[in-house]
Structure 1
Amino acid sequence: MTDALDLAALGGSLDVRARESGMSGVVSIDADGVQVFSSAYGLADRAHGIPNDVGTMFAMASASKAFTALAAMSLIGDSVIALDTPVRDILGADLPLVDDAVTVEHLLTHTSGIGDYLDEEADWEVEDYVLTVPVHELAQTEAFVRAVDGQPQKSPPGERFAYNNGGYIVLAIALERVSGMPFHDVVAQRVLTPAGLTRTGFLRLDELPGDAAIGYLADDPQSLRTNVLHLPVRGNGDGGAFSDAAGLSRFWRALADGLVLPDEVIAEMWRPRVFVESERLRYGMGFWLDAEGPGIVLEGYDAGVSIRTRFDPETRATVTIVSNSSEGAWDVIRTFVEHLARP
């Protein structure tokens, strides 16, 4: 995937798969900000028959963990905290089951070993009601202390990689406390604004604007069941931001151009630490990486959300596949992964 012709061919393949699978969402491909392919599918609001548009804002689920990681590294750059800062120093008596040896770096790299309030190794489905705190109460970061409390440590800090949603909630709590600012404001000030992302942010699910897609549990366009009772009313450190596809492309290029953090910091965040067999990807610090190859990847899967966005720092090409249903993007993402695997 090294030139515009390759990208155009990829766009054609993904378009065919999106239409065949009945995907609801957007596929967008650009080369250094120059659009190569962009198409919208399905409905942003099924009840009112409002179609998705290439400019529709979609939920990002765990893809927005990158914002949390970048905000953390920004505060580290200002010497507010350090990678080796024990989180206990910030938490005080809260979350007593978090091991005293857990550091900021452990949280960033999913090696903290803390118990996860949304344990991805547990036996639950994406449409299950898994939150133990009423979703309408989960709007501000401190409210999540109750949600992540009571989870026993699963392994010693630093022993192994285990993807951990709760770890990024703990990280958000820590960032809010050390900065003295609400977590969402920290992300806006230190990540979204310098990246020029005017249509990216943490929206409340109970008051989505007209240009944001509603998340649906089922792919069936006749199903009106939304994700509003399955997710926090406003996302936090582990997910929940919204963006349009153009904003994600701008985000990637802003990182590559040093607009958010210095080049050496981004390079450290994009340095692979571990290969994750179940994902067939490597992991850095807040970002997934190609198993082999230059691509940097963000991915999210949640009730009413499925997304993968990949940036190639060598060609500066961005491919974003996003859907406003739980499973909607995965057939198209698999087609994209197969394309990348071709010799």
Structure 2
Amino acid sequence: MSLADLDKIALETGFSGVVQVDRAGEVEFAAAYGLANRAYGVPNTVDTRFGIASGGKGFTALAVLSLVCEGGLALDTTARSLLGDDLPLIADDVTVEHLLTHTSGIGDYLDEEGDWAVDDYVSGAVHVLTTTEAFLPLLDGHPAKFKAGERFCYCNGGYVVLALLAERAGGQSYHDLVRSRVLAPASMTRTDFLRSDELPGDAAVGYLEGLDRTNVFHLPVLANGDGGIHTTAGDMSKFWRTLFAGDDAEFVTRPRHDVPEESMRYGLGFWLHETDDTVILAGYDAGASFKSVHDPHTGTTKTVLSNTSPGAWPIAALF
């Protein structure tokens, strides 16, 4: 992949976003395309912050596992032991590990196996979703799809439940747990949970496919455990280097399940290449698309971020 290849694809697809490739911390190339804010004609730069949708699940997993390492949680801790009377349709035998590996079987408020389109309005009153506890009415009332441990089924709601369990075990808000346990150790100073209704000037506004309409009514106003944090290409490179310099990488990236329908495997919060050791975080939502791929053997990171739903995929296909 060369800058000429990127320029060609970006021109053909109207790509809006950032692409960066680095090896062992040295940037091989980085390029920005399109507008971060169309109303005011603000261009994207290589330092623009983008929402990464489900890419944030990896951060949730690491925050949860830091509590496991400290003894505040265990992989076999049941959700019920911390939920009490909340979310009564979650089975008594659903554990932290089931939730991390998408094998809990719980019903999902955003069921991607169902009749779901990325630009649907799925979260109701998104402006109230500022805390994890505020998600409880949204998570409630969804019958189990199968028995815990029976099979893999990607579950967004399961990662919000994980955020709730982490809060109750760790005594801090989910957002502060991620900030202190994931972002700070990696010096990810450009990454944070940004309110969609008051984005700073260095953050890209998300746009619906084919429209100049923003995604502000489509997503929780403040991201939570199932994704939506804002980051940069540079911070994602810091993230991968820190993860693989520590002791957790082998554990979280050990394959737990084959996911043939995606031609991938899954670990604990991370997608894995079908046959090699490449590790992947990816996200897709209204006004956001993202993929970051890391090869631990060469130390190469390839990241593409976009502020449109389809934007990242033509370029990510080259990864």
**Range of TM-score over shorter length:** over 0.9
The alignment covers a number of residue pairs equal to 319
CA RMSD of aligned residues (A): 1.0
Q: Are residues 12 and 275 of structure 1, via their aligned partners in 2, closer, same or farther at CA, if it must alter by over 3 Å? A: farther
The residue identity in structure 2 corresponding to 1:296 is V
Q: Are residues 191 and 55 of structure 1, via their aligned partners in 2, closer, same or farther at CA, if it must alter by over 3 Å? A: same
The corresponding residue for 2:234 is 246
For residue 316 of structure 2, give the secondary structure of its aligned residue in structure 1: helix
In the alignment, structure 2 segments of 5+ residues that lack a partner are none
1:22 and 1:224 map into 2 onto residues whose CA distance is 13
Q: Are residues 136 and 88 of structure 1, via their aligned partners in 2, closer, same or farther at CA, if it must alter by over 3 Å? A: same
CA displacement, residues 170-201 of structure 1 (integer Å, 9 cap, x when unaligned): 00011011111111001111111011110101
Q: How does 1:75-114 map to 2 (within 5 A)?
A: 75-114=67-106
The corresponding residue for 1:214 is 205
- Runs (4+) of structure 1 moved beyond 4 Å? none
The corresponding residue for 1:195 is 186
For residue 301 of structure 1, give the secondary structure of its aligned residue in structure 2: strand
2:318 and 2:96 map into 1 onto residues whose CA distance is 36
Structure 1 contact 15–27 (Cα < 8 Å) conserved: no
For residue 278 of structure 1, give the secondary structure of its aligned residue in structure 2: helix
The corresponding residue for 1:172 is 163
- Aligned mate of 1:320, from 300, 303, 311: 303
For residue 175 of structure 1, give the secondary structure of its aligned residue in structure 2: helix
TM-aligned CA deviation for residue 11 of structure 1: 4.6
In the alignment, structure 1 segments of 5+ residues that lack a partner are 1-8, 337-343
Q: Which moved more, 1:13-22 or 1:82-91?
A: 13-22
Q: Which moved more, 1:205-214 or 1:268-277?
A: 268-277
The residue identity in structure 1 corresponding to 2:205 is I
CA displacement, residues 279-335 of structure 1 (integer Å, 9 cap, x when unaligned): 211110100011112210000000000010000000000000111001111111123
Structure 1 contact 14–335 (Cα < 8 Å) conserved: no
- Aligned mate of 1:130, from 116, 122, 127: 122
The residue identity in structure 1 corresponding to 2:256 is R
2:275 and 2:7 map into 1 onto residues whose CA distance is 25
TM-aligned CA deviation for residue 12 of structure 1: 4.0
The residue identity in structure 2 corresponding to 1:91 is L
Normalised by the length of structure 2, the TM-score is 0.98
Normalised by the length of structure 1, the TM-score is 0.91
- Aligned mate of 1:231, from 201, 204, 219: 219
Q: How does 1:1-343 map to 2 (within 5 A)?
A: 9-132=1-124, 134-218=125-209, 220=210, 223-258=211-246, 263=247, 265-336=248-319
1:244 and 1:238 map into 2 onto residues whose CA distance is 18
For residue 56 of structure 1, give the secondary structure of its aligned residue in structure 2: coil
Structure 1 contact 17–335 (Cα < 8 Å) conserved: no
Percent identity at matched positions?
A: 55
